[in-house]
């Protein structure tokens, strides 16, 4: 157990810059469903939190939909406070060095519950839900921060929302998620060299809105749930791309979904949810 985050929240996003974790947006359940613009910085060395400049556009439903390029955090998509602001195309850049936000070019396909990863200086926005439909998208769009432009990339074979994504050994992995309202065990691998997707070994436990990180050249998947009508999982699943195999590790001491997970100095930090 570490120092509690000052603002209780879920469905937020987070990212690591210079050994510190930035927790951004999300929603509070008290009172009611309240979408947040709050940004808080966690210093693992001091085990302490600091309030930072609010995100201009408060958003939730964005677990895993931020990415870091050149020390700046890009927060992409999600849901605003009102129905008119759901399935957002909004992209905002946060610079921890100056504690400032900048609006960037909108994502072509407005969506929530997507996953993003940074690779070779570009950001891949993967899957998610489209407006007014609980049907996972196959859509993949790529953002170039140097030109502030978007391009279309090859679709995923299986459309999912509420997924995670990780980069490992030059490949992008789209993990779990929901094609409809219930989680699946899908693992889909993208090779940016050949621009092709490949289905890989299924997770041992189908999950969504979980935490996924890369540690020791493996993908660690923590918690999540089948869907929000049941309790979250305690499952810890580890994927080795060298063997295309999953192993089940000791359960967590908590049941957790709609949280964020990050790695600093070979330690995994599980936050909120």
Residue 144 buriedness (CB in 10 A; 0-12 / 13-18 / 19+):
middle
Q: Which two tokens stand for residue 13?
A: 């996003």
Q: How many residues does the chain have?
A: 273
Question: Can the peptide bond before residue 59 be classed as cis, meaning omega within 30 degrees of 0?
Answer: no
Q: Which two tokens stand for residue 23?
A: 């927790």
Better pLDDT: 30 or 111 = 111
Give pLDDT, residue 31.
Answer: 72
- Tokens 């030059």 locate to 170
* CB of 232 closer than 8 Å to CB of 205: no
The tens digit of pLDDT for each residue in 18-42 reads: 999 999 999 998 777 799 999 999 9
What is the average pLDDT value for the chain, to the nearest integer? 96
How far CA 115 is from CA of 6, 48, 138, 139, 231, in Å, comes to 25, 28, 12, 11, 23
Could you give the percent of the chain with pLDDT greater than 70? Answer: 100
Structure pTM? 0.97
Give pLDDT, residue 69.
Answer: 98
pLDDT above 90: residue 81? no
Give pLDDT, residue 141.
Answer: 98
> Cα(146)–Cα(139) distance, rounded to whole angstroms?
22
CA-based nearest residue to 162, from 210, 202, 198: 210
> In this structure, how many other beta carbons lie within 10 angstroms of the beta carbon of residue 214?
15
The tens digit of pLDDT for each residue in 158-206 reads: 999 999 999 999 999 999 999 999 999 999 999 999 999 999 999 999 9
At residue 84 the predicted structure's pLDDT band, cuts being 50, 70 and 90, is confident
């Amino acid at each position: 157990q570490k120092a509690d985050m000052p603002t209780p929240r879920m469905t937020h996003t987070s990212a690591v810059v210079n050994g510190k974790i930035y927790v951004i947006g999300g929603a509070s359940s008290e009172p009611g469903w309240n979408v947040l613009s709050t940004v808080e910085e966690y210093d693992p060395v001091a085990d302490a939190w600091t309030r930072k400049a609010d995100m201009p556009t408060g958003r939730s439903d964005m677990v895993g939909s931020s990415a870091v390029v050149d020390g700046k955090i890009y927060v992409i998509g999600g849901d605003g406070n009102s129905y008119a602001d759901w399935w957002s195309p909004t992209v905002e850049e946060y610079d921890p060095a100056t504690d400032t936000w900048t609006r960037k070019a909108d994502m072509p396909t407005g969506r929530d519950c997507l996953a993003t990863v940074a690779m070779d200086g570009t950001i891949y926005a993967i899957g998610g839900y489209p407006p007014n439909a609980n049907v996972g998208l196959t859509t993949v769009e790529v953002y170039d921060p140097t030109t502030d432009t978007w391009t279309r990339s090859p679709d995923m074979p299986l459309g999912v929302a509420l997924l995670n994504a990780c980069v490992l050994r030059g490949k992008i992995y789209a993990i779990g998620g929901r094609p409809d309202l219930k989680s699946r065990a899908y693992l889909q691998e993208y090779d940016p060299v050949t621009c092709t997707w490949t289905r890989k070994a299924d997770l041992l436990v189908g999950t969504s809105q979980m935490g996924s990180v890369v540690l020791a050249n493996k993908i660690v998947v923590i918690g999540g749930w089948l869907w929000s009508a049941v309790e979250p999982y305690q499952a810890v699943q580890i994927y080795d791309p060298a063997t295309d195999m999953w192993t089940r590790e000791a359960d967590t001491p908590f049941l957790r979904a709609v949280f964020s997970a990050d790695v600093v100095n070979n330690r995994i930090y599980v936050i909120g949810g």
